[in-house]
Amino acid sequence: MITELLAALRAVPKILDALERLGDCMTAQVAQQRKDDKNELVEDIITAAAARRKQRLSGGETQRISRDSGETSGGDGGGDSDS
């Protein structure tokens, strides 16, 4: 019985090392998941910003074209040829 107890006590450091390695693996997995989530969030933000920019630019182009096509210019930049 004492020999079994001594054998179990000798195994404790190896068991602790194994538990520590498991803990390190879990920490690495959680860190990787956080990094992946953050990268996905950044990609979503960039995609949304690009879509807003594209929408804003295409909306600005149509406004500029419609505004420019309805006006006549006197060539002096003032827009009034009477001056």
Q: What is the 3-state secondary structure (H, E, C) of 39-53?
A: HHHHHHHHHHHHHHH
pLDDT score recorded for residue 40: 98
**49-82 per-position pLDDT tens digit:** 999 999 998 876 555 555 555 555 555 555 555 5
What's the burial of 27, exposed, middle or buried (CB within 10 Å: 0-12/13-18/19+)?
exposed
Could you list the beta-strand ranges (E) of 1-83.
none
Asked if 75 and 81 count as a contact pair (C-beta separation under 8 A), the reply is yes
pLDDT score recorded for residue 58: 86
Whole-angstrom Cα distance, residue 80 to residue 13? 92
**6-47 per-position pLDDT tens digit:** 999 999 999 999 999 999 999 999 999 999 999 999 999 999
